Structures are given as structure tokens and as C-alpha cells.
Structure 1
Amino acid sequence: MAETRTTDRQERKYDFHGRKNNRDCPEFSHDGYISINDLRNALQDDTNVQQIQSDLRNNARHILRYLTNILEYPNPVDFHISEVTHVTDEKSSDQISESGGFKAYGDDDEKFSWWSLKIDEKSIEAAEQRYLEKVFPNRSEEQKEKQDEFLNKFATSPAFHIKESRYGTVRFSFPLNEVMKTYKEQMCGGQEDPVLREYKTMFYQQEIMYVVLVHSPKHNERFDKFPRIKNVDYEGNQIVWKAQENQIVWKAQAISNAIKFKLNLNEENKMADIEPVYRQYYVWDHVCLAFHFDGVLKFTKEDLKKSKTHCELSEKNCLKRNK
């Protein structure tokens, strides 16, 4: 059975696209979601690479050096997230305050307002416990008490940076249920729930981003080719939408872009421990929500002010440089 699945993956045809994005960076995408392992295999195939624009081909090959097999590390790790964040620069922050909300930017179908998952220390601690319950389902209370924290040693990619950002110095943070409720009222007529779909896997030199498309049901026909994200958990999916809990479940495959530890799982005493290793660079993945709409997604001035905080700009950031 396993051999059949491997053969199916090898024969699967992928549809990759390459372009320079609005930040003038090489960007590749695949409609729908593709796992990191399948992406690694696909980019080793000349047939797939040739689909990407010729001027970006070398960059497509370049990502492979970050997709090498690595030492044992926590994978996958389930994060249950109920808060989202939109980070921007000071100028755009002033425009958000003036307009009373967030605008969607882009052309036609790709007109979005972009949000990220906000993952704090408590979310990492909870994910660690879920991971341990999965690998050691019958731990005793004594074993649980003896277990030292370890996931925070691996959860070090930009996806977990709360105090800094690659996108600017102003962060707006909202509970996910509040954003979804506001979107439903203003963009879905208040009657039907927003639709969530597996939109794209976007990848760069070291970064892999899974895009969740959020749209009004009136656009179902337009986006019908993208699989719907449902409240169903099955092996192999990257994202689950738990509507009743107002949570996104992200099954992270690569939580560190610079791995400094090896994970050891001791089956005998049902404990996990780590040991330092020579640093190895790897891809890192994360999730973004792309809300599709025209106009402005409005919030009260009080809510905007309350949600607004400042953060440091990451040394490696995505802001345009002056030429």
C-alpha cells in the first residue's frame, strides 16, 4: 500500500508559477497545498521546474539547498490558533486609522487583505503537550511531570516572532472570531458564513507559505477549483478550520529555519529530550489568511486603537528598499 502511494506522488503533475512579486522578489506558487516532502520531490523534476519562468529557474533550484533531509525534529506540530495579526508600516497604519479599517489590495481575483496567525508562548506550550500525547499516548503522570520543555527550542522561525516582524513596525491583533464575524456581516450580507479554501502554496528561497483564502459564498463559483477547508482532521492535511471553536489548526512541518538541536524520543521511559547539534539551515513554513473583498473591512476606532501595538522591524524584512 505504501509503495502505491509513493508511485502516485511521483506520477502526480504539478502546476508551478514563477514571478517577481510587488516587492521585486522571486516568488513561486502552486495552486492548492503541497507538502514539503512533495515539494522537495517535485523541484527535483525538470518537467516541473520548466513550468516556472525561465528567468527565475535558477532560484527554483536554489531552494533545494534548504530542502535537504535533516536530523530528527518535531514534525508535524499542531498549533490551535484563535488570534490573527496584520502588520504594516507607519504610513499604512495611519491610512487604516483614517479609513476605519483594512483595505484589500491586488487585481481582480487576487484582491486581498493579508493576516497571519499570532502564536504566543501558551500556544507553543499547548502544542508541545499535543505532540507528546501523539508520540507517547500512554504516559503516566510521573512521566509528564519529569518532562522538560523542548518545543520552544525548535519554534524559532519568523512565524513565532511576536516582538518583531518582517512587514513593518505596527501590529494590529484581533481574535479570529471577531475578524470572521466582522467579515461575515460586512462582506457576506450577515446571513452566510465565510468560505475557507486551500488557496496556494507560495515559496521563496527559504520560506513556504500556506495561504488560506477567505471569501464570501457569493464567489463560490469563482473559487470553486480550490478545495474547501473543513472541520475534518485527516492525515496529510496542513490546515483544519474548527468553526465552533473559532480556531485555525495549523499542522506545522518546519518550525525552525536554523535548527540547533536534535530531538530524541525515548520509547522506554516515554520522554523527549534534545541535544545540541551543528546548526543546520532549513525551510520554514507558516500560514497566512487572505481575505477577499472590495472596499474596507471596518472596525470601530476604539477596537483599532486597542488592537494596535508596535514591534521591531526584523533585520531581514520584506519592505521595499529605496533604490
Structure 2
Amino acid sequence: MTTTGNFYERRNARNVKELVCDGKYIEIKDLKLRDDIKGEHISWKYLSKDIPDYPTPVEFHITEVAHVTNKKCIEGILSSCGFLGLDEDSLSWWNLKISDEDITAAEERFIESFFPNSSKEEREAQQPFLRQFTTSPLFRESSRYGNFRFTYQLTELMEAYKEQICVDEEPVLRLYQTKLFKQEIEYVILVHSPKVNRWFKDLPELASSPLVAYDGKQIIWKAQAICETHNFQMAKHENNVVIEPMNSFEFYVWDQLSLAFHIESNKILAFPKRSLDQNPSVCEIDQIDLSNNGSFPSIAEAKEFLESLPEYESKKDEKEENLSGKIKVEDE
């Protein structure tokens, strides 16, 4: 792969127009200065705005990741008990799963960095504020990509990838792409086996990024744009953050981080059936549906479809047998 550092336009596998820069994570402040995306390009309308103060950057420590799919793909995942590398790049795509606890912890880190000299009493007096700003699709329970969400601990996913795809060698993490959509900035981590280093050697390793790090247990990500819709602005009052309603809301870009696991066409990232017992969960489709018509309009319909699948039925039967056996033993 040749890394040019310039943006080029293409349509992705979902037939959505995107601007792509290979091998670099370009921060928002630098994107605003780029001549190759100014003017008529898809993202410039929102990216060029000047937005009132809001929390940025916000450092999240993420331990869970999720893969969302539609009804066209769910049967294959369940029947094979695993994930394939799709499309011409042979990639399996995963997003961060950010919990309420993650948001609370990120808020505490933000306060500590924003007011490094604040007292313990001042920090304790701080009213929660970050949830007023975490309004982008990244923080919603709904999804743009389908009704079925597989959620794993990052360590579990990485360990499975290490054992099966890397044959017990450590996976390599690289800066893959900065991708721009109409209102979204996506930073992509490429995860691959060291056995295919020759294919990706032109891409910098993740350790060189100031925005993202991986410490072997969690992803540490400095989110720059968490709002999408700005209804509030942030202000300082002594050593506390206060939020003020805006006279009118503003749409702006939002950013997210994705992981793309390289899985060659003759391989599968498999999980034992017992680890799939809590997967997948069912979620609503977001207002923007990018699932290629493979979605259900309601959670009830998605759940009914899931429960009709043979793979799901057999899993349900196993649970009922185990529960019946447990009850019988307890009765005895």
C-alpha cells in the first residue's frame, strides 16, 4: 500500500461517498486548513463552521467493542460462529462501545486536565455535564448499520485474533485511514497479523498517533467532536465547568474510532458457542439507515426474526436443557 497523505474520493461498500486519506490521522484543526477538502467536498459544509466552546478533547478509555450487522449477514455469523473479512480488503469492522461508566470517567479526566489546580472540594462540587454533549450517533443505543449487535471485551477479541489469525504472535496495530463523510470523521485502526507485514509496511504503527493508543487492555482515544448537534456551550466559573443553552442549535462534524481486523479469505475469526450466548443483542435502526435495506423497522420485528433462525433456536434449546437440568438437581 502506498501512503500519499492526500485525500481521494470514492464510494464505499455501502455505496456512500467518502473522502479517504491513507496512513494518517488528521486532527480537526488541521482538516480545516486542508486545501484538498475545501469548497465543494462533502464534509466542508459542517467542518468549516466555528462552534462555541464544548468539551474537547475528551479522553475515553474503552474496554468493549461491537460489531453491528443486518439480517443478510446475521445467519452466516451465527452458523459459522465467527466473523469473516469482507469486501476486497478482507476486513471485519468493529466500533467502540462506550458505556455510561466510560462517560463518567472521561468527565472526571476532563475536569482534572481542564482545572489541574482545583481542590478536592471543587471537584466534588462539579455538577455532571458531559452527557449534555455526548449527542453524536457514537453514544446512541441505536445503530446505522443493522439491528444485530455483537459485543465483546476488547481483550477477548484481541486474544482470539492473536491465537487464530496471528498463530500466537502479537497483532500489529497501524494507522489505517482518516475518512470524511458528510458530517462524520472516522479514524480507523488496522489490526493485522505480523505474517502479512509486507502488505501494510507503509502504514505507520499506532504508537505514533497522538489521538489513539492501545495499552494491551484498552483503547485510549481523545475524541475531538462528541456532539453532532450543539445545543449547549461550555463556560468556566471559577474552577468548575458550567453549561449554557445556545440560542439556536448548530450541526457540526462528529468523530469516531473504528477497528478493522484483517482476516484473509480462507480464514474465520471464530468464537465458541458458549461465548455467543449473550450475542447478538437487538437494537433499533438510527434515523440514518446504512444497512443496505437489511434492517427491521422495530426491535420487536428484529427479535422475532432472530428467534426464528435455526442457529438461535438450537442455542435457546441448549439453554432450556441446562436450566431444566439445574432445576431437577435442585429439586432432588
User: SS state of the match for residue 146, structure 2?
Assistant: coil
Match of 1:184 in 2: 162
1:28-47 Cα deviation digits (max 9, x unpaired): 100121111111211xx2xx
Let me know the Cα RMSD of the aligned residues: 1.7
Match of 2:135 in 1: 156
1:35 aligns with 2:27: yes
1:140 aligns with 2:119: yes
Match of 2:292 in 1: 320
Q: Which amino acid aligns with 1:178?
A: E
1:206 aligns with 2:197: no
Match of 1:237 in 2: 210
1:263 aligns with 2:242: no
* Aligned counterpart for 2:201 among listed residues 208, 217, 224: 224
Please identify, of 30-39 and 111-120, the stretch whose mean Cα deviation from structure 2 is larger.
30-39
Match of 2:73 in 1: 92
Q: Distance in 1 between matches of 2:121 and 2:15?
A: 54
1:300 aligns with 2:272: yes
Match of 1:8 in 2: none
Cα shift at 1:49: 4.7
Q: Distance in 2 between matches of 1:224 and 1:96?
A: 30
Structure 2 unaligned spans of 5+: 295-332
Cα shift at 1:224: 1.3
Cα shift at 1:286: 0.2
Structure 1 residues 318 and 134: alpha-carbon distance in aligned structure 2, compared to 1, 3 A threshold? same
Match of 2:6 in 1: 15
Q: Distance in 2 between matches of 1:70 and 1:316?
A: 23
Greater share of residues in strand: 1
Q: Distance in 2 between matches of 1:189 and 1:63?
A: 41
Q: Which amino acid aligns with 2:282?
A: H
Q: Distance in 2 between matches of 1:94 and 1:221?
A: 34
Q: Distance in 2 between matches of 1:310 and 1:292?
A: 26
* Aligned counterpart for 1:124 among listed residues 103, 110, 125: 103
Cα shift at 1:305: 2.5
Q: Distance in 2 between matches of 1:224 and 1:105?
A: 21
1:60-90 Cα deviation digits (max 9, x unpaired): 1x42121111100111000000000001112
Please identify, of 311-320 and 149-158, the stretch whose mean Cα deviation from structure 2 is larger.
311-320
1:2-56 Cα deviation digits (max 9, x unpaired): xxxxxxxxxxx841111112222111100121111111211xx2xx259xxxxxx
Cα shift at 1:91: 3.0
Q: Which amino acid aligns with 2:93?
A: W
* Aligned counterpart for 2:152 among listed residues 170, 174, 186: 174
1:103 aligns with 2:95: no
Highest Rg: 1 or 2?
A: 2
Q: Distance in 1 between matches of 2:175 and 2:286?
A: 28
TM-score, normalised by the number of residues in structure 1: 0.85
User: SS state of the match for residue 95, structure 1?
Assistant: helix
User: SS state of the match for residue 106, structure 1?
Assistant: coil
User: SS state of the match for residue 206, structure 2?
Assistant: coil
Cα shift at 1:188: 0.6
Q: Which amino acid aligns with 2:171?
A: P
Residues matched between the structures, number: 286
Q: Distance in 2 between matches of 1:24 and 1:300?
A: 33
Match of 1:65 in 2: 45
Q: Distance in 2 between matches of 1:30 and 1:143?
A: 43
1:95-145 Cα deviation digits (max 9, x unpaired): 1010110111021xx210000000011000000000000011122221122
* Aligned counterpart for 1:247 among listed residues 218, 242, 265: 218
Give the share of equivalent positions with the same residue, in percent.
42
Q: Distance in 1 between matches of 2:7 and 2:243?
A: 37
Q: Distance in 2 between matches of 1:242 and 1:307?
A: 26
TM-score, normalised by the number of residues in structure 2: 0.83
